[in-house]
Amino acid sequence: MVYMRVPNAGYPQRGVCHKRSRFVRLYLKPAVKAGFFVGNSAARYFRNKGKGSLPTFVPSMRRKTMRNDKCTETREYPAFAAASALRGEGVFPDLSASPFLTIPSFVDVHVHLREPGFFYKETILSGTTAAAASGYGHIFAMPNLNPVPDTLENLNIQRAIIEKDARIDVRPYGAITTGEKGERLADLAAMAPYVIGFSDDGVGLNDPALMREAMRIARRLELPIVAHCEDLTLRDGGYIHDGVYARRHGHKGISSESEWRPIQRDLALVQETGCKYHVCHISTKESVELIAEAKARGLDVSCETAPHYLLLCDEDLQEDGRFKMNPPIRGRADQEALLRGILDGTIDMIATDHAPHSREEKSKGLSGSAMGIVGLETAFPLLYTKLVRAGLLSLERLVALMAIAPRRRFGLPDAEEAGDYAVWDLSQAYEIDPESFYSKGRATPFAGEHVYGKCVRNVLGGKTVWDTNDGSADNAKGML
């Protein structure tokens, strides 16, 4: 078995947690219970009653399938040295001295590629180039486009551009309702063979009768409903979280109830219909609790969160459009609940909700800017730096959240069998510079953050889609 030692960085960083005792209660104990530590460093830490150094993660690329607290399957994902893989010399026996790591290529189940209809924000070429350069092999494209993919005819417009321009695998969602207006159902059956699921992402579907019928059809078609859960009647003109920052600075807030109330309603419909159901970008502690309860009842439910909800809370906001997205960055208690959720398995995966806009659309402050930030090119470096290197999460668990769990939930082939992998240089340290992005979008709240990790090679189905050593980066810049 190959191991890669991740250096222990001591205390968690500011904005995640402040005290060691709180860290142990909120994060470390759930992580140990869930089996995300290798070795006995955590047990030794508890025996010493919290004295000494925090446990060091020594994760392997070994996946354990847990069911009823029992390991039912173990599959190894050996970590390759990038130099060895590139030379075709096989697997290094020990990676402790190597900064390179090969892991399954990531799957992002929530990406806005903006084409057709909004090519000034992003194109399928620019968005998939950003994804390829960031270790992603598969991305799922949201349907808030023009035309909306609500019929096979409209969907085929998008599919034709994907076929022509995509640098990696892109799987579109079909809309749940015509025009995403929430008034009548789209042509779900006609689109079913060509989509990964059905979503009205960008707006909430607030008609329970229509959602019930959509779930019944989706179950018959054996595809998931992927829900943007937002009750617009509870939004009341808000544009950031209804919390500390909004009250201090006189902004209109979005309540947490506007997210968790529709989730609560939908879970009752899942119980009734037996539909496969996935919740987009959860951001509140109540959402985590509802999904945990639903899973305990045996419902076919999964969910995602995004890096900005794990790494920021509303106390970190600035008067800048790059801090504005929907749902908004929530309070500290919500952030802590989400971190617990990725440790205990309540949250199944991490998606980016990559949502690029033009500079003009993001230049109007918190109140006037469009909602959405980019995330494909920052997700893994941020999470590796802020969570793994900080000792909050094992590298193995992060890979599961970004690569393995999405494949299994949405029925993609196993990465090892498909020949999908990415090589990362974890020693590369740099500051996030939006001007270097391949995406057309530039808005990120993490501009200037110091991070580690660059993707140096990305292979999809045995074919190289990105390689920093063969001119791919220069060619991509020229094409864009």
Catalytically annotated residue among 242, 348, 353, 425 = 353
Cα-based distances in Å from 67 to 34, 267, 295, 413, 435: 11, 22, 12, 21, 45
Whether 348 is catalytic is no
Report yes or no: 85 and 423 within 8 Å, Cβ to Cβ. Answer: yes
Dihedral, CA atoms, 174, 309, 136, 200, nearest 10 degrees? Answer: 0
Half-sphere exposure of 19 (CA within 13 A, CB side): 3
Three-state SS at 401: helix
Say how many C-beta atoms besides its own lie within 10 A of residue 87's C-beta.
Answer: 9
8 A C-beta contact, residue 207 and residue 269: no
Nearest to 340 by CA among 24, 3, 21, 14: 24
Q: Which helix (H) or strand (E) holds 226?
A: strand 225-227
Q: Yes or no: say if 146 and 118 are a contact pair by the CB < 8 Å rule.
A: yes
Which of the 8 DSSP states describes residue 403? I
Query: What does each C-alpha distance from 130 to 136, 172, 374, 400, 425 come to in angstroms?
Result: 9, 17, 10, 21, 17
Give the CB-side neighbour count of residue 454, counting CA atoms within 13 A: 15
Cα gap 342→410, rounded to integer Å: 18
What region does 303 belong to: left with phi over 0, alpha with psi -120 to 50, or beta?
Answer: beta
Nearest to 189 by CA among 179, 201, 198: 198
Name the strands in the sheet holding 301-305, side by side, starting at the edge strand that comes first in the sequence: 225-227, 277-279, 301-305, 349-350
- Residues tagged active-site: 353
